[in-house]
A and B are shown apart, each in its own frame.
Chain A
Amino acid sequence: MQETTPHGLEPLEELDLSTLPVRPRTVSTSLRLNIRGRSVRLRGLRQPPTGLLGWLLILGPGLIATSAGNDAGGIATYSQAGAQYGYDLIWVMLMITLSLAIIQEMCARLGAATGRGLLDLIRERFGLGWALFAVIIILIANGGLVVSEFVGIGAAMELLGFDKFFVIPLSAVVLWYLVIFGSYGWVEKIFILMTLVFFAYPVAAIMGHPHWNQVAHGAFVPTIHKDNDYIFMLVGLMGTTITPYMQLFQQSSLVEKGVARRHYGPERIDAYVGSIFSNLMSIFMIIATAATLHVAGKTQIDTAADAAKALEPVVGHAAKSLFAVGLLGASLLAGAVLPLATSYAISEAFGVPKGVNLDFRRARIFFGLFSALIVIGAGLAMIPGLPVIQLLVGIQVLNGVLIPVILVFILLLINDERLMGNLKNTRTYNFLGWGTCAVITLAVLAMLGGQLLQHFGVIGSK
């Protein structure tokens, strides 16, 4: 080969590999987080920024994702937790954050090591029967969440003065159309903007003048109430924070990003940071409702209007409509992503064509599932006279009941040497993982036992 002299570059004299120019592995080196099923990029967090503006620019997308990540069920559960038990459940949230980080990290690792989704792996390792079982679990859990999103849409619109029997079918049709015909991208940004309203929560938490020493007490000294409602709430908190859906999503997003097993590493930090981010807003929500509603003696939230009162210290009378806007945005966001991700994962397990870019005839099962989830979700949400908040919390509790099942699958898969190779779980991870699984199972059993005993009148409700 001839030596060449391009403009501005020295001719290549010797083949010197020591100063080899290296191109970036990926297009951007930004930190990619997964916060409650929303994937965000924090540009350049790996180089610490300077100044407040720098930090804001960098952490902005992550913070926005935390505000967008709380769906209708989450808002209801955290509000109810704060109203009913004040600061007493904050320590649980801290524990859950640790568990969530561990579990999310394991899912990320599974995704990177195998390049496949969770249901896909279950199908291949445990066979058709177990796969079907997992699919049913996921369908119940996510189907419940879809219902809760539509309930959220209805409740928000009622606060704004619209009739929910008109709004829910309309939003179902609009969401379906937007996702299938691919113009969802920019609409999503509007939904996210709407959820920015929830930044009023941290402000409300501070302006509500909580007793910070009580908050600290609630955060670090475990307080356990010995009644059924408390355990019910506990399972609800676990269910809404560690949703089975999030594990599914986390793993699939790693697969979609194309992370290779040899380069798994930075994703570990992403999973941790994402989990912490994801729970920040929830904790503020609990503090804000505790400082307003609980202190005022209102311990039972029945309607969305009650929940909105937590924002009153900040925005006064506008609290109701602002809360409604945020709730609407969050519910619409999750209402689109949830059915999509669910039908994608299930199609993967059965090996049928999937993806919104295909036409109807080629991906009948995928589109059928997606449409069915939206139709059934919207349909159930329209049953007249539903107790909104109780239903939302109930669905989160259902999710809590189903987590251990999915967790067992994850833990079994991640300890499979043939699958994971050197990315197999270490002893610490196993300890924490199985520990989380055991604690959640115990809580679920305690809840179910308590409900049964109460049902047969063995013990009173309080």
Chain B
Amino acid sequence: MNTLPELTHSISKRSIRIWRTTNVITDILILILCIGLLITSYYFHWYQWLMITLWIVIAIIPLGMIWSVAMEPKWKYTYWIYGFNEHYVRFQHGRLFSKQVVIPMSKIQFVETEQGPLLRSNHVETITIGTMGTPHKIPMLPREDARILKEHIATYAQVKEVDA
């Protein structure tokens, strides 16, 4: 009998806005850094190739922002889905590179939540699911959903398996 959970849950819609904001901030910071470097490189007569590289980077960033601000956050939100029941946690994400993961409840070793200032003001949390290998993250869950998932895992993850 197949006991997989359906992928019925999605993450918080506010995630689009949060990702947009973070991406705008990081892109602008990089831009400022590059412009600063460019000015210093003119001032101190650094290598020619360094300046050319910096000019290219400065030109690319605004173009990249079309992707990272207008498209990526929305896609990320649309394609992030997850599901869980007493046997498994299952999630899928990504459009250009999609990934689906299934973890049995009994193989989960810990659950953690984390919240940056942006997440806190938007009432969302990111959940980290720790297994023996690399931990997995389910980002941007509405606080209530995060609490339910966390409690669910805490209940079922302590289950010990015995050979059938």
Do A and B originate from a single complex?
Answer: no
Using a CB–CB cutoff of 8 Å, the interface residues on chain A facing chain B are none
Using a CB–CB cutoff of 8 Å, the interface residues on chain B facing chain A are none
